[in-house]
A and B are shown apart, each in its own frame.
Chain A
Amino acid sequence: MGTKRLGKYSKKYSEYISAFGVVIIFYIIVQIMAAAHVLTSSFAGQLIPVCAYAIMAVSLNLTVGILGELSLGHAGFMSVGAFSGVLVYTNFSAFMPAWAAMLCAIVTGAVTAGVFGILVGVPVLRLSGDYLAIVTLAFGEIIKNLLNAMYLGVDSAGVHISFKDAASMKLAPNGKTLINGALGITGIHKASTFTLGIVLLLITLIVILNLIHSRSGRAIMAIRDNEIAAQSIGIDLTKYKLMAFVTSAVFAGVAGVLYALNYSTLVATKFNYNTSIQVLVFVVLGGMGNITGSVIAAAVLTVLPEILRVMKDYRMLIYSIVLIIMMIFNQGPQMIAWRKRFISKIRENHSTGKEEH
């Protein structure tokens, strides 16, 4: 029995090792490529988005794969995180060091997205069924349209806001426009770095994996597997659903800040329905509940369209073929059996190798 208990623990840690391993190896490869000057500019430009989308996928996996609720508005949380974070960064970096402003921006983005997560989650997660999918879908669209129509400025009299046009903000001549409607926020100082992205991704992985492998995570997965039974053993359904959903929203906010501070302009339409679905595709293809899978799927499927640019008209064709191959590899019963055989073979070789030593 002792060995069996040990087996359980090594299995548990393998999830951490594979997730961190993938991220760290990716980081090292990129650093080597950069040092060897083989990093193309188009690929280098994808590095921060890759990190942001990996954080998005891992956090959405907490809602979709671990809690078992469908969320179709994850980009909405990314969006509120991005806008609030950028506003804080541009205003704070004037009087504090860049790293401190960045930290403030990330915390603000996380908190804002978390607050919206609570606002959406509290009424909806009390119900069971597919309501979350419907409400998050609406939330994503509403946020996008609101931010798209929002004019925000500041002058000596205070903050001005309008949803009509820039003139109706009645900004004093010396005032500063912060959000310019559909043009969004312009003139952002690019502050995100690849290393920061990797650090944030690692923090996301630690927090979410730790949460999953704790009492709370067990309660969340129990709700996913059987709501009625979970309730019968005294698990507070609303509390744990909300815990998973809000944590997921918080990290979407962090991803939003990271993503937005990589570009000079930020427009609300970037975070539309397609972005939400794209992140959901990462989660589904990486395997629901499989955290490492989410990271890999997000990285591959973010970089792929750029690499495939050389294929011109065939780009989306190849992209969809890759999607199908990934789907078969991850979810096909034959492939799962083959992978299991492969892994156990490696383990066997490994253990016999050890005995020989």
Chain B
Amino acid sequence: MSLLEISGLSISFGGLNAVSNFSLTMEKGHLYGLIGPNGAGKTTIFNMLTGVYKPTGGKILLDGENITGKNPEFISKAGIARTFQNIRLFDALSVLDNVKAGLHNRISYGMMTGIFRTPVYSRKENEMTEKAFEILKIFELDEKADLKASQLPYGQQRKLEIARALATDPKLLLLDEPAAGMNPNETAELMQTVRSVRDQFGIAILLIEHDMKFVMGICENITVLDYGKIIACGDPASVRSNPKVISAYLGGN
């Protein structure tokens, strides 16, 4: 049984078929790239995978469990976490609290425990703080734990988003353009981080990215999307030389 099995996934908005008949299979520990020109439907697929959009057709199986059309909370608990194309952090919360928010369902206690400050409260909070620092250390953000998320430089905000997603203990991590807006040094550093996250956490990562060096350098498999349809699929070398891919990106016949 594969970790993620998507078959025949489709969605249409009115008359527009944004994604049609999308299929993909991912194994545990896989690093998978999803590329395509702007408007190809990549983020739409992420939104269907995380329950933001309800697919109009097809099936998504995570670890054998059918998660098609479930709500985002359910899917988060089932084991899919994501980052966003335009960074979505909890700006007014501290870096530490952003990650602790990610631990919400993993280490939990009730409202009354919080209000009456029972011993459970301090035990669970300490547990959360420790766990959060563990994750922050991987991204070298532990020194900045007390800063507000909005005070971080751009590159570190991207990292914090990944840290927060990892805090939910996912089986599958979806990264939506993680290298967008980064300089070549930061991109190279991010490649290292993504790889080490995969190795350390043993999770599968599906990523959307426009930076070809990044995608080709890191992904074992790549699916290319154009106008909502798969036009190519395979390892980086075969995708790179595929004439359909070249024409989708550069135009021409």
Contact = CB atoms under 8 A, between A and B. Distances in A.
Interface of B: 50, 52, 72-73, 76-77, 81-82, 84, 88-94, 96-97, 100-102, 104-105, 108-111, 113-117, 121, 124-125, 128, 142-143, 145-146, 164-165, 167-168
Contacts, number: 112
Given A232-B82, A234-B72, 19 more contacts: A210-B116, A214-B109, A214-B114, A214-B115, A215-B104, A218-B104, A221-B92, A222-B101, A225-B89, A225-B93, A226-B89, A226-B90, A231-B73, A231-B76, A232-B52, A233-B105, A233-B167, A233-B168, A235-B104
27 contacts: A210-B117, A211-B115, A214-B121, A215-B108, A215-B109, A215-B114, A215-B125, A218-B104, A219-B101, A219-B104, A222-B93, A222-B101, A222-B104, A225-B92, A225-B93, A228-B84, A231-B52, A232-B52, A232-B72, A232-B82, A232-B84, A233-B102, A233-B104, A234-B77, A235-B101, A235-B104, A289-B92
Contacts of B100: 215, 218
B88 A229 contact: yes
Interface residues of A, number: 32
B176 to A, nearest CB: 11
Contact of B146 (A8, A214, A225): A8
B124 A215 contact: yes
Main SS at interface, chain A: helix
A231 B72 contact: yes
A222 to B, nearest CB: 5
B90 A243 contact: no
Contacts of B143: 1, 4
A218 B164 contact: no
Nearest to A235: B104
Nearest to B128: A215
A216 interface: yes
Contacts of A218: 93, 97, 100-101, 104
A59 B141 CA distance: 35
Contacts of B96: 8
A207 interface: yes
